[in-house]
Structure 1
Amino acid sequence: MNFQKISSSRRRFIQGVMATGALSAISSGPLISRAWAAETNPEQWVQSGCHFGAFEAKVVNGEWTDTRSFKHDKFPCDMLKAVREIVYNPSRVRYPMIRLDWLLKREKSDRSQRGDNRFVRVTWDQALDLFWQELERVQKQYGSSGVFTGFADWQMVGKLHKAGGAIDRALSMHGSYVTTVGDYSAAAAQVVLPHVIGSLEVYEQQTSLPLVIENTNIIILWGCDPIKNLQIEYLVPDHEPFGYWQQIKEKVTQGKMRVISIDPVRSKTQNYLGCEQLALNPQTDVALMLGLAHTLYSEKLHDEAFIKEYSVGFEQFLPYLTGETDKQPKDANWAEAICGISAEEIRELARQLVKGRTQFMGGWCVQRMHHGEQYPWMLVVLATMVGQIGLPGGGIGFGWHYNGGGTITSKGPVLSGLGGLNNPPKAVHAANFRGASPHIPVSRMVDCLLSPGKKLAFNGETLTFPDIKMAIFTAANPFHAQQDRNRMIEAWKKLETIIVLDHQWTASCRFADIVLPVTTRYERNDIEQFGTHSNKGLLAIRQVVKPQFEARHDFDIFTELCKRFNQNETYSEKQTEMQWIRRLYDEGRKQGQETGITMPDFDTFWNGEGYIEYPTGTPWVRHGEFRESPDLNPLGTPSGLIEIYSKTIAGFGYQDCPGHPVWLEPFERSHTGKQAESYPLHLQSCHPDKRLHSQICSSDNYRQTYAVNGREPLYINPTDAKVRGLKNGDIARVFNARGQVLAGVVISEDYAPGVIRIHEGAWYSPQEGGKAGTLCTYGDPNVLSADIGTSQLAQGPSAHTAIVQVERYQGVIPAVTGFGGPQLVQGTHA
């Protein structure tokens, strides 16, 4: 498999959900006036969409005043209350801005001043001239290895206005540049699972939920919280899974189905379903799985026939499981001492797994830990021993909480996007990486900046870190995603120039040299799928308000940049925004006609309801074709079978990731870990319930609906709170050897003793801007997390391997620093 393609998998995986059939258009009356365009009527409702769902915006004299949900969404997301503020909040990037000292000294600026939030306003021409001049300088002086464009895309929906497509299309005409492999969400699983079960799995469609409802006896939610995470999708969510989860709740209530959540925390899904829980010790999931597997084997409950026909390597794994190789059987008693679940509970769960149809639903948080590759691999092994992979309502999946996993995929066309050029011109600068690697694992960027030229083992390759001098970020916020904020600040000083395109003054903007204001998705026209995996329909995303201040579309920004090397007409293909949208629609319409689907012409679609609903597809079983005929439908592994033992991985010779799954002690953990005396609490920093990563954290009014005394919530067990003298609403200092943050206390029985949570995406808000070690005044958990790779195999982030201490904050509580715009200064002096 080409792992360079993993970094763009979020953009491209959707191509695999295309199906065929006949069109069924909804014609129940227009949602809005036909004169829909921004500011054409004194008052109107305008249809739009985003990662939180489709909606209609009330616009009065050109101002967005109210929001209501889309009538075809039965389960609208609460986060839609925050979207209007994205346009109008004080953190909005309004004008092109340049960091003061960089404007004076360019690449020789004082980089320790990054983060001090002092910027000079410039014109668009000045900003783009400087952008172009830096591209030229760095390419000439350092070659392709000097430019980095590794983060893009999570901010925007829409086939045309994808930030990643816009920047790639432009910069590839100028030269080559360093890119990334993988992402922060599921890096360990993305690398190991193709070796084990033949595909990325995490972004794949899951067995149709109606088949789960009909056939499943036990659902195992292993670190999986679909009710929380299915609120958002990569495209515009239709929220259809919530109807199915209502049915699952009814079956649980009636005693017709068991759902067991394996998680140290009572998840939102567990509380919604009223289901069972096994509250294991944090980071001990693999030990529990091994205890279950040993019970299945020792009590002869495993499916020998399935293992023999559909997998390879069980005989290499077995000596480790039984203790033949290390004199330590991985039995339930051994597992109990590590994971905190009693041996009898482990044995009883193993017996239950094979009494009926069992569906394993794996989440992603568990693989964002040290040795995170072992968790998805071992969960596949456990499902293989149960023997139900490929059966309706049985087997294993890792995408149930993402992109509407388990919905039924429609028979409608999948539209393309801006994409690359069919016949691109010769680039201004030929590719020249000067012996360095053209790609790096995404979470190893700080390592790369601090140690250019260093060798790195990664998935069988030996990479050489490039000497990056210029970084460009668009629709991304690395000061949210990357671990160990203080180490990151030092690494950022290695960059000569940083350019950020955004519409919010994130910490990434504050640490940039050039900040370019882009439009929000609500100031653009576009089209997008309604439902990511479901592809339920096609939605017109209409401009709610005109671009505010001096914000521009990414497409227009890069058209103007290309003008500086005479490729602007090549870039835009001489087409406007609406001409592009019409072209993309017509391509989809042609695709539909070829498969028997009739779609209205573009004008009828766009000026009418702006929504087409596709015919429903048929239920589908993940890995069903493989089970039916493994010879005709092999997996994408070297053997074509499930690889319990991977000869490929074994051949890499990695001590921290051998040829079959094993229990490996993480570099730190609570609950009997070596460092627990100083830092006894495990810090969870999983996906938030009220945001998409760091997005909408700057929506001030909405943030106040969940913030505690203006800080990010810190969730803590009553026992742990009492020991520390904490009560609800207190401001606490959370700290370890890596950093310190303030957060607002929320005491909850949902959290096991020794486990706390601060959701990722809380904006980094340093008390002293640009200074490593300073207190984060709002509560960014990545101040506390460690920047250590999961293993040499995937080199993914280990964000959830983090232990901390908590105490009541003493002294005068500082103001939150992370929100609002920059300090505007004159460009003639410091």
Structure 2
Amino acid sequence: MKIDRIKLLNIDKNTLEFIEKSCQRDGFYTFSSEDAHDERERIVSTSGSHNCGGRCVIKAHVKYNRIVRISTEDDIPDTEKVPQLRGCLRCRAYRNRIYNCDRLKYPMKRIGKRGEGKFKPITWQEALDITADNLKRIMHKYGPDSIYIQYATGNEGKLSEKAWMKRLLGMYGGYLSYYGNYSTACTQTATPYTFGTIYTGNSREDWVNSRLIILLGFNPADTIHGTNTAYYLKMARNAGAKIISIDPIYSNTAVALADKWIPVRPTTDNALMDAMAYVMIEENLQDQKFLDRYCVGFDESHMPSGIPGGNSYKNYILGEDGSKISKTPAWAETITGIPRETIVELAREYALTKPAALIQGFGPQRHAYGEQVARGGTVLAAMTGNIGISGGWASGTGYPVENIYAASIPYYNPNKSEISMFSWPDAIVRGKGMGADLSVRGAKKLSSSIKLIFNLGGNCLVNQHTDSNGTAGILRDEDLVKFIVTNDQFFTASAKFSDIILPSDDMMEREDIVTPWDVGSYLLFMNKAVDTVFQCRNGYDWIGELAKRLGLFDRFTEGRSLNEWVEYLIEETAKKNPDFPSCSEFKKKGIYRRSYEKPSIAFKKQIEDPLHDPFPTPSGKIEIFSNRLWGMNNPEKIPAVPKYISAWEGPEDPISRKYPIQCIGHHSKRRVHSTFDNMGWMEEVERQQVFMNCEDARVRHISDGDMVKVFNSRGTVIIPVKVTARIMPGVASIPQGAWWTPDKNGADRRGCINVLTRYKPTPLAFGNPSHTSLVEIKKV
């Protein structure tokens, strides 16, 4: 076995000896030194496969079978119609990730208590034998509801481990599925109650036709939210659009692109939107003709039959619904922190400037009643008549209506039970019989609690899930979850709670296909740049070995190699995209772009011909009042029209007297969720720190750079502070994604915001309420 690359990677002698012996014992070698002496530079086109808001062209420059630098797309003309897909600093720093000395190198088995982080190296053969034995035992004893593939976005490629595991477990009897996601659970659930779909966005190229763009918690400068999203906003501004940013933070998007910043208290966006609606109604600024023709439930004259009077949206806004509370700007000022004059001006501007786009980010709907935020924006879009027109925006989820079909690995799950991706702790603690509420779909109740978890490229076990300390306590109890397998590239906070850890290859050590968040424009092929190192293995490889132990290898593989599965996906994709390139051409170019003669407009057909192209709702119209939500008979938490509901641990919660600061977790430009947190280069870009308003710091005698204690009843984070005027008073923000690192006293020393967040799913989507936390901050 040649070890040129091992020397380059600087591993110790004992590790080298273990790897060599275990490779020989398992019958395979992980290192290929065929190109180790090739000094010619190869340029390999690839992309990123983690859950980044951008999907960019990455070019790996390879010498001696090692990536020596990374560049990006620069070989096509950069035009307004076809802008280059240029990588941000995350992927440009990727060498620091692939060659990080902390990469997992071999399979490991837990030897201490779960969560202690004590493991010993074992062979792949032993690791897969242990995994297969536990899978067989647990499936036989508890059934498919006990087997769970954890939500994970560390690898979003079409050939990811979770795709292969779904295929295998489906053949083995099934598994417990999940619905929704941590990012958009509330808006994906709520938006269809208004429009019947989540595809409510115009093409981004259409923003140049807007005269006014309101960004509600939308920060694509850092989150990216689709490669070149900030570029399209810049084009709109250059074309004359006014841009307003509504956000607790004066974000980089607001700094670079906005004409005005309106800070708003977290969880109170609906109060702002209610007051805007009040101004429009009182001043008769709403597009009544649009509301009369296309909408259900705005006023008493357009309500579904059989609904008692006083339940329209207009009744609610004017306080004629029994509450006797008019949603005036003065009412909203005390809740949101926005001056009433600003609210009036904003309402008039949105109502009188046409076309206009109210674009909702995903941050505002990640709170206690986030379903209301999503639907609230759709009502304002309807009231202003900005739906189905160029330059407008229907609001809600905002996914583009034009999409490229991209084939996936075929699988079938015979087990129909589904839980919300956020409710898995409940499915561990009280899973058997769970289903009396809306958290279980496909079955009346679960037949078992979760007993086995496959955590494949994810950090949601403790890091990205709320209440890290409480969740860790659940996972430590080996009487609850019997067996946990993690497959990853690093020893993450979640990996520490595994029984078996399996080292994964890197995105530049494999072939794959990835789609952007905006899947209407292009697909990317990820060419393999370098060979896999150490004992890291591709998912198809080791899951295929697991299939052998279950007697399913031939059925699982269908006789195909991994490369043949790549060809299969390309061929299936080409069947529904007539101009799709051949497999060899797609690999060579690394990208398939679809060109459009003109931007796509959501609901254009419905607005032009509502009789023949109705909205995909039960009524065929925009449902401001939802009969389906009315039928749930839970008006305090799931109202039939969107309403402001005062959040637990919001600014009006009495507990704010003890914990007076609202703490949120913004996305950092240095990470993709928790991916890249352990990269030294990214630490140089932006340190992990809590952002705090100058006045809040002054009264606490805190100075910029001090170490502070951020705490509530759930835990404590000790972290440096950034004192700044770029966050509104009464609000603090810790960039989400830092790896949970408790000290001996249980205080987190890295800045994991989920030490402070609460596990309490939202009422309809059972989604993630992570921006609903009250804390206090003190100088250490």
Taking structure 1 as the reference length, the TM-score comes to 0.81
Instruction: State the SS of the aligned residue for 1:43.
Output: coil
Once structures 1 and 2 are overlaid, which stretch shifts more, 182-191 or 463-472?
463-472
Matches of 1:439 and 1:800, distance apart in 2:
25
Residue 774 of structure 1 deviates from its aligned partner by 0.8
The reply to whether residue 724 of structure 1 matches residue 724 of structure 2 is: no
State which of 486, 493, 502 in structure 2 corresponds to 1:500: 486
Letter in 1 for 2:132: W
Matches of 1:630 and 1:614, distance apart in 2:
29
Instruction: State the SS of the aligned residue for 1:458.
Output: coil
The answer to whether the 8 A contact 1:82-1:696 is kept is no
Provide the residue aligned with 2:218 in structure 1: 224
Letter in 1 for 2:286: H
Larger relative contact order, structure 1 or 2 (CA cutoff 8 Å, min sep 6) = 1
Provide the residue aligned with 1:417 in structure 2: 408
Q: CA-to-partner distance for each residue in 1:435-479, whole Å, 9 max, x for gaps? A: xx8221111111222223344421797963541111111122112
The reply to whether residue 319 of structure 1 matches residue 315 of structure 2 is: yes
Provide the residue aligned with 1:133 in structure 2: 133
Letter in 2 for 1:472: F
State which of 728, 746, 753 in structure 2 corresponds to 1:752: 728
The answer to whether the 8 A contact 1:364-1:398 is kept is no
Letter in 1 for 2:172: H
Letter in 1 for 2:236: I
State which of 215, 218, 233 in structure 2 corresponds to 1:245: 233
Residue 598 of structure 1 deviates from its aligned partner by 6.8
Sort the Cα spacing of 1:284 and 1:470 in 2 relative to 1 into closer, same or farther, 3 A: same
Residue 157 of structure 1 deviates from its aligned partner by 4.6
Residue 605 of structure 1 deviates from its aligned partner by 4.9
Matches of 1:38 and 1:306, distance apart in 2:
66
Matches of 2:289 and 2:228, distance apart in 1:
37
Matches of 1:399 and 1:67, distance apart in 2:
34
Matches of 2:616 and 2:283, distance apart in 1:
32
The reply to whether residue 549 of structure 1 matches residue 534 of structure 2 is: yes
State which of 637, 657, 664 in structure 2 corresponds to 1:684: 664
Q: CA-to-partner distance for each residue in 1:487-536, whole Å, 9 max, x for gaps? A: 1012212211111111111111101111111111111023445x553654
The answer to whether the 8 A contact 1:669-1:803 is kept is yes
Q: How does 1:762-801 map to 2 (within 5 A)?
A: 762-768=738-744, 774-791=746-763, 793-801=764-772
Instruction: State the SS of the aligned residue for 2:437.
Output: strand
Residue 415 of structure 1 deviates from its aligned partner by 3.8
The answer to whether the 8 A contact 1:38-1:546 is kept is no
Instruction: State the SS of the aligned residue for 1:794.
Output: coil
Matches of 1:741 and 1:368, distance apart in 2:
21
Residue 612 of structure 1 deviates from its aligned partner by 4.8
Provide the residue aligned with 2:9 in structure 1: none
Provide the residue aligned with 1:480 in structure 2: 463
Letter in 1 for 2:758: A
Instruction: State the SS of the aligned residue for 2:313.
Output: helix
The answer to whether the 8 A contact 2:670-2:685 is kept is no
The reply to whether residue 639 of structure 1 matches residue 619 of structure 2 is: yes
Instruction: State the SS of the aligned residue for 2:47.
Output: strand
Provide the residue aligned with 1:283 in structure 2: 267
Sort the Cα spacing of 1:598 and 1:149 in 2 relative to 1 into closer, same or farther, 3 A: closer
Sort the Cα spacing of 1:604 and 1:440 in 2 relative to 1 into closer, same or farther, 3 A: closer
The answer to whether the 8 A contact 1:742-1:777 is kept is yes
Matches of 2:592 and 2:284, distance apart in 1:
53
Sort the Cα spacing of 1:537 and 1:447 in 2 relative to 1 into closer, same or farther, 3 A: closer
The percentage of aligned residue pairs carrying the same residue is 28
Matches of 2:391 and 2:589, distance apart in 1:
37
Q: CA-to-partner distance for each residue in 1:277-332, whole Å, 9 max, x for gaps? A: 22122221111111111111111111211111111112222222211221111122
State which of 342, 348, 356 in structure 2 corresponds to 1:351: 348
Sort the Cα spacing of 1:613 and 1:40 in 2 relative to 1 into closer, same or farther, 3 A: farther
The reply to whether residue 520 of structure 1 matches residue 506 of structure 2 is: yes
State which of 426, 445, 450 in structure 2 corresponds to 1:468: 450
Matches of 1:537 and 1:377, distance apart in 2:
30
The answer to whether the 8 A contact 2:378-2:396 is kept is no
Matches of 1:157 and 1:440, distance apart in 2:
21
The reply to whether residue 98 of structure 1 matches residue 90 of structure 2 is: no
The reply to whether residue 451 of structure 1 matches residue 430 of structure 2 is: yes
The reply to whether residue 86 of structure 1 matches residue 86 of structure 2 is: no
Sort the Cα spacing of 1:326 and 1:614 in 2 relative to 1 into closer, same or farther, 3 A: closer
Letter in 2 for 1:419: P
Number of aligned pairs?
712
Residue 663 of structure 1 deviates from its aligned partner by 1.9
Provide the residue aligned with 1:118 in structure 2: 118
Letter in 2 for 1:100: I
Instruction: State the SS of the aligned residue for 1:219.
Output: strand
State which of 666, 677, 683 in structure 2 corresponds to 1:697: 677
Instruction: State the SS of the aligned residue for 1:396.
Output: coil
Matches of 1:579 and 1:265, distance apart in 2:
48
Letter in 1 for 2:474: A
Matches of 1:590 and 1:647, distance apart in 2:
40
Provide the residue aligned with 1:626 in structure 2: 606
The reply to whether residue 55 of structure 1 matches residue 70 of structure 2 is: no
Instruction: State the SS of the aligned residue for 1:472.
Output: strand
State which of 661, 664, 673 in structure 1 corresponds to 2:645: 664
Instruction: State the SS of the aligned residue for 1:397.
Output: coil
State which of 176, 196, 199 in structure 2 corresponds to 1:198: 196
Letter in 2 for 1:581: V
Instruction: State the SS of the aligned residue for 1:330.
Output: coil
Matches of 1:663 and 1:445, distance apart in 2:
28
The answer to whether the 8 A contact 1:38-1:544 is kept is no
Provide the residue aligned with 2:73 in structure 1: 70
The reply to whether residue 296 of structure 1 matches residue 280 of structure 2 is: yes
The answer to whether the 8 A contact 1:362-1:398 is kept is yes
Q: CA-to-partner distance for each residue in 1:143-184, whole Å, 9 max, x for gaps? A: 1222111424x222543x223211101111111211212111
Residue 577 of structure 1 deviates from its aligned partner by 2.2
Provide the residue aligned with 1:510 in structure 2: 496
The answer to whether the 8 A contact 2:689-2:719 is kept is yes
Instruction: State the SS of the aligned residue for 1:698.
Output: coil
Matches of 2:106 and 2:427, distance apart in 1:
32
Sort the Cα spacing of 1:496 and 1:371 in 2 relative to 1 into closer, same or farther, 3 A: same
The reply to whether residue 561 of structure 1 matches residue 546 of structure 2 is: yes
Taking structure 2 as the reference length, the TM-score comes to 0.87
CA RMSD of aligned residues (A): 2.5
Letter in 2 for 1:484: D
